[in-house]
Amino acid sequence: MDSVLIIGAGAAGSVTAQKAAMNRDVFKKVTLASRRLSSCEAVAKLCKTPIEVAQVDADNVAETVKLLKKVKPDLVINMALPYQDLPIMDACLEAGVHYMDTANYEPRDEAKFTYKYQWPYHKKYKEAGLMAVLGCGFDPGQSNIYCAYAQEFLFDEIETIDIVDCNAGDHGKGFATNFNPEINLREVTQRGKYWKEGKWIEIDPLSINCMVDYPEVGPRKSYLIYHEEEESLVKHIKGLKQIRFWMTFGDNYIKHLDVLVGIGMTRIDPVMYKGTPVIPMEFLKELLPPPSSLGENYKGKTSIGVIFKGTKNGKTKRTMIWNVSDHAKAYKEVKAQAVSYTTGVPPVVGAMMMFKGAWKGKGVFNVEQLPSKPFMDEIGKQGLPWQMADIKVADQKELFAVKT
């Protein structure tokens, strides 16, 4: 295995293509495809070594199959929108190609983050002798692998998991989202949810918050939201009693979001405008700065990690594993801000794991089901080094005190 096809030439897809082009010892052939060929050509100019480009409508299974049969990749890395996961998975099945993505499938007409659409592909992929790896970005992705590593090497049993995600950067815009605006806003405005004692508990959007102390950033107000990796981790982390996901949003972001929700601009159902159906969220997306435009002059850092509470040798233990990335450093390397960088690098490492045989299997897998150590050994070399430390209750006093 040495040929990869990357579908999606947005901000994160650009990072994935560039990083693959930096690792020619693994990726002998790199092809980037997107609906707009011009986007692929722009990314190709940034790559350190030559890559091939192609045009494809990833919603069209037949068109994608035709491209796969022409390019003959060993693996497709899906960096397109979550709406396109199923068509690309179908195309890979028909063409006999392994599959990887960074986010679970989401229907266009419902903000529904769940693996129930993709997990049923397990039997089809297994029978075809193919491997599909789901959620190999950062969160989901690297955060899941931190959990797998903690389960295997750090704890006898993990009781609680808190995934904490902070972007402490400043892009200088009045309001912008750090990844696809449509996906970001759908994620934030849906009802929150967490898992405790064997059941899911729903809450109103952004109704629970606390201060989390982020490495190299400091305390930041963080909101409890639902994130897809929780759904797979509750299946694969043994003995787990609670899992929550926290993300920071600045006061300016919340202010704009309140207004947009209040006037209906985040609706995903069509409204009639002068006789034409218009989906407000899709229109809003066209008005906001594209994430790929935010990198230049972006200052600050992202700090993303997982906080565990569990037992080791009969004693209570609390540990945090995290990564800190710098926006300016990411832009200098790949002309992208750190949110795109942290999403775009892990699938390259995941592909390395598959190509080198460290990750193998037939069927559909979430990343925490696969060996964690080879990934953890490689990810730092590719730009996302991780750190680990045991912590005390006082180090995250508010987080541990939140009653959920």
What does the pLDDT read at residue 103? Answer: 94
Rounded (10°) angle between helices 251-262 and 181-189: 80
Instruction: Give the residue range(s) of CATH 3.40.50.720 domains in the chain.
Output: 3-138+340-379
Instruction: Look at residue 19 and tell me whether its pLDDT is greater than 80.
Output: yes
Instruction: Look at residue 173 and tell me whether its pLDDT is greater than 80.
Output: no
Assign 178 a pLDDT band (cuts: 50, 70, 90). low
Report in angstroms the alpha-carbon separations of 374 from 148, 263, 357.
12, 48, 10
Gyration radius of the chain's alpha carbons:
20
**271-273 and 52-55 as β-strands: parallel, antiparallel, unpaired?**
unpaired
Instruction: Give the residue range(s) of CATH 3.30.360.10 domains in the chain.
Output: 142-328+385-401
Element (H, E) at 247: strand 242-248
More confident residue, 252 or 219: 219
Rounded (10°) angle between helices 11-21 and 37-46: 50
Tell me the per-residue pLDDT of 308-346, one tens digit each, with 9 for 90 and over.
999 999 999 999 999 999 999 999 999 999 999 999 999
Burial degree of 259 (CB within 10 A; 0-12, 13-18, 19+):
exposed
Q: Residue ranges of the alpha helices (H) in 166-245?
A: 181-189, 229-236
Instruction: Look at residue 74 and tell me whether its pLDDT is greater than 90.
Output: yes
Instruction: Look at residue 268 and tell me whether its pLDDT is greater than 90.
Output: no
Q: Which of 25-29, 180-184, 202-206, 399-403 has the lowest mean pLDDT?
A: 180-184
**pTM exceeds 0.85 for this model:** yes
Mean pLDDT of 214-234: 96
In sequence order, the 6+-apart residues with CB closer than 8 A to the CB of 231 are 113, 114, 115
Peptide bond between residue 140 and the one before it cis (omega within 30 degrees of 0): yes
Judge contact between 9 and 43, C-beta under 8 A.
Answer: yes
CATH topology classification for 142-328+385-401: Dihydrodipicolinate Reductase; domain 2 (3.30.360)
CATH class of this structure's domain 3-138+340-379 = alpha beta
